[in-house]
Structure 1
Amino acid sequence: MDDRTEPLALVADVLACPLCGADVVAVRPSVLCATGHAFDVARQGYASLVVGRAVAGDSAEMIAARDRFLSAGHYDRVSDAVVDAVPSTAGVCVDVGGGTGHHLTRVLDARPGLTGLVIDSSKPALKRAARRHPRAAAVAADAWAALPLRSGSIDVVLSLFAPRNPAETVRVLGTGGLLVVVTPTPRHLAELVAAVGLVRVDERKEERLNRQLADFEAMGSDVLEYRIDLNRADAIDDVLMGPSGHHADADTIAASLASLPDPVAATVSVRVSVFRAKRADS
């Protein structure tokens, strides 16, 4: 077995062809579906299951900033909360918009019977995610389009600071499968918001989330809030790894943060919500 395709082989039975929906029958040397459609596997090990024009996703600079920031442990308590939400009996967990696979790796380390898959549109992120954990594969796909997954094949879907595709999530989750969502509250990183001009979180975000996920049963929701002390480099990375990184570079962000103390005390404030896919007859 080609080493780079071993993680893909672990999830081959949940993958579906993005062109025709047929089952995937091979992942070496390329991903091949039952009707003969073939898709490339990058040398780093991630498969490109993209149809039409690819969505660029986060840049290499944004991904490097995210990797540095998360590796420093600032969001470890968020990862721990996600781990607690994933049942030990789950078999396959998919992190949609999972970036570098940081949070999924923490889940896999705590759940030795679990197999993971990161879906993202950013090639720089997927290059890291594909090599992050021996039980985690990585696939390039558009989260807003049809997910390249078989219907009812997934036990847990993660949506962590990422866009959600409710209809596709319902489709790919098995009956009783779980969706774990992490969203920022209006207090999240409030200390940085004014200085950099970050987009403020809508006060009605939770209401909109519940409305968006009307086809799911709400299982629980808790706010996790704690303080982190960020040196100047960490503060820059925190801003750069988010949406602001699409239109501002590190130097511009550093100039915006110049008025803040070094280190700066920032608030991590997120809501961790768990939803269960409703039964077809409910």
Structure 2
Amino acid sequence: MLVARDAVLASGLYAPIADAVAEAASPALHGPSAALIDLGSGTGHYSGVVAAHARSRPRMLMADRSPAAVRWSMLAERGSDGVVLDTWAPLPIRDAVADVVLDVFAPRNPPEFARILRPGGRLIVVVPRPEHLRELRTGGRMLDVPGGKATAVLEQFSGLLHALEPRHIHAIVRPTPAQAAALHDMGPSAHHGSPEDGHSGADDTNGTDHANGTARTVDGITVSVDVLTFVAR
């Protein structure tokens, strides 16, 4: 999953999402003493883009349930710290220490997220919309995205943080067959391949029709997410 995620993010297919996250985080990053915590850091890509957009590089903590992800993100962002943790459990992080918390396609723990933010700090949450990667969901190889995720997240943080106006990112990208396969493999649907046919579900997104062995072209894939910004009171 990390290798596939790195391939997708390095390709620029998700650049509109990363740029929107950086834009939302920027107002809370003031000077080199600013602290950014990436919960569900993965490869560290989004933290890297946020840091690149900031006036000065913030101190960064990469946090993920996967030790491999924490190692990867720390190597990607030299000088960052890292911790392996369960986002749903109490976080081993002190109160009011973060200027920015990132939660990009990751689980959420509203009371804990609010606790670790400084007053005026920002939480950036990215959630997919139902049409996100819909062209890859044909044939049932990828998990569906339920509707109303943004509304549910806003309700979760109601009373804890102040919500700013959500931003909807919508783009049609044209990946290569290999990139389309990586889009599948970067998420949990990568585990839903059929062992009987000897291939993962990614094969159904890489331009091959297994029914007749002929090649087909993926003309465009929808990238559609909501970027939600919350401010600590």
Q: Please, what TM-score do these two structures have when normalized by structure 2? A: 0.86
Give the structure 2 partner of residue 97 of structure 1: 40
In the aligned structure 2, how far is the partner of 1:172 from the partner of 1:228?
36
Picking from 188, 204, 222, the partner of 1:256 is 204
Encode CA deviations 1:215-271: one digit per residue, 9 max, x unaligned. 211112110111111122111111111111234389322443334833441011111
Give distance in 2, aligned partners of 1:139 and 1:239.
27
Structure 1 251/110 Cα, relative in aligned 2: closer, same or farther at 3 Å? same
- SS of 2:142's equivalent in the other structure is coil
Corresponding residue SS for 1:125? helix
Q: Structure 1 residue 268 and structure 2 residue 215: aligned?
A: no
8 Å Cα contact 1:155/1:173 also seen in 2: yes
Distance 1:185-1:146 versus aligned 2 partners, 3 A rule: same
Letter in 1 for 2:109: N
Contact 2:191 2:200 survives alignment (8 Å) = no
Question: Residue 231 in 1 paired to residue 172 in 2?
Answer: no
> Match of 2:102, SS?
strand
Q: Is the 8 A contact 1:196 1:256 kept in 2?
A: no
Code of the aligned partner of 1:270: V
5+ unaligned residues in a row in structure 2: which ranges?
210-214
Match of 2:90 among 146, 155, 159: 146
Q: Identity over aligned residues, as a percent?
A: 34
Q: Please, what TM-score do these two structures have when normalized by structure 1?
A: 0.72
The 2-side partners of 1:92 and 1:99 are apart by 18
2:16 alignment counterpart: 77
Please point out which of 164, 168, 171 is paired with 1:219: 164
1:68 equivalenced with 2:23 (yes/no)? no
Whether 1:206 and 2:150 are equivalent positions in the alignment is yes
Distance in structure 1 (CA, Å) of the matches to 2:95 and 2:165: 25
Map of 2:212 onto structure 1: none
Q: RMSD value over aligned CA atoms? A: 1.9
Q: Please tell me whether the aligned partners of residues 105 and 136 of structure 1 are also in contact (alpha carbons under 8 angstroms).
A: no
- Asked if the contact 1:196/1:253 (under 8 Å) is kept, the reply is no
Q: For residue 196 of structure 1, report the CA deviation from its aligned partner.
A: 4.3
Within a 5 Å distance, the mapping from 1:101-180 to structure 2 comes to: 101-111=44-54, 112-180=56-124
Match of 1:183 among 124, 127, 133: 127
Q: Where do 5+ consecutive residues of structure 1 fail to align?
A: 1-61
1:239 is paired with a residue whose SS is helix
Q: Distance in 1 between matches of 2:182 and 2:64?
A: 20
Q: How many residues align?
A: 217
Preserved CA contact (<8 Å) 1:182 1:271: yes
C-alpha contact (below 8 Å) 1:108/1:115 kept by paired residues: no
Higher relative contact order, chain-length normalized (CA < 8 Å, sep 6+): 2
Task: Specify the code of the residue in structure 2 equivalent to 1:216.
Answer: L
> Aligned pair in 2 of structure 1 residues 264, 181: CA closer, same or farther (>3 Å)?
same
CA distance in 2, matches of 1:68, 1:76: 12
- Alignment partners' CA distance in 1, 2:193 and 2:70: 22
Which stretches of structure 1, 4 residues or longer, exceed 6 Å deviation after superposition?
A: none
